[in-house]
């Protein structure tokens, strides 16, 4: 995924519609939380087994796909507005998580997720 290219497309889309005035970090983070809640609704009352792809209806799977896209769109737009290089941020976070959750300490221990 070319995040820079997608961010440029999203910025152009917002600029063409004069939406930058609404795309403050506060508003984008609130929209991101809202979309995350919409994703949660899809799975809210499902069992662990029922939440697996093979158990989802086409409608549920399409809804999850749409909500995940919305979540990523808002996250990418927020990162763009804050001038955060997401590829670097993700790489740094993976390194931090590897140090924090070592294989030896985490493997087989559900409390160490």
CATH number for position 60: 1.10.287.1080
Number of domains in the chain: 2
User: DSSP letters of 24-50?
Assistant: -HHHHHHHHHHHHHHHHHHHTT--TTT
**Angle 58-81/25-43 helices, nearest 10 degrees?**
160
More confident site: 70 or 111: 70
Q: What is the pTM of this model?
A: 0.86
Tracing tokens 């970090």 back to the chain, one arrives at 25
* Helix, strand, coil % in the chain, rounded to nearest 5: 75, 0, 25
**46, 49, 50, 55: CA torsion to nearest 10:** 170
98 and 72 in a single domain? The answer is no
18 and 41 in a single domain? The answer is yes
48 and 20 in a single domain? The answer is yes
Write the pLDDT tens digit of every residue in 84-102. Answer: 999 999 999 999 999 999 9
19 and 69 in a single domain? The answer is yes
15 and 27 in a single domain? The answer is yes
46 and 62 in a single domain? The answer is yes
54 and 89 in a single domain? The answer is no
The total number of residues written for the chain in this structure: 113
The whole domain housing 99 covers 85-113
């Amino acid at each position: 995924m070319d995040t820079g290219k997608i961010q440029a497309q999203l910025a152009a889309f917002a600029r063409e519609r004069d939406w930058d005035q609404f795309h403050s970090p506060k508003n984008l983070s609130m929209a991101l939380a809202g979309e995350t809640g919409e994703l949660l609704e899809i799975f809210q009352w499902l069992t662990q087994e029922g939440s697996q792809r093979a158990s989802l209806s086409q409608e549920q799977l399409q809804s999850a796909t749409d909500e995940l896209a919305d979540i990523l769109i808002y996250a990418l737009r927020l990162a763009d507005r804050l001038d955060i290089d997401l590829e670097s941020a993700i790489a740094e976070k993976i390194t931090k998580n590897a140090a924090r959750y070592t294989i030896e300490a985490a493997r087989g221990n559900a409390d160490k997720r």
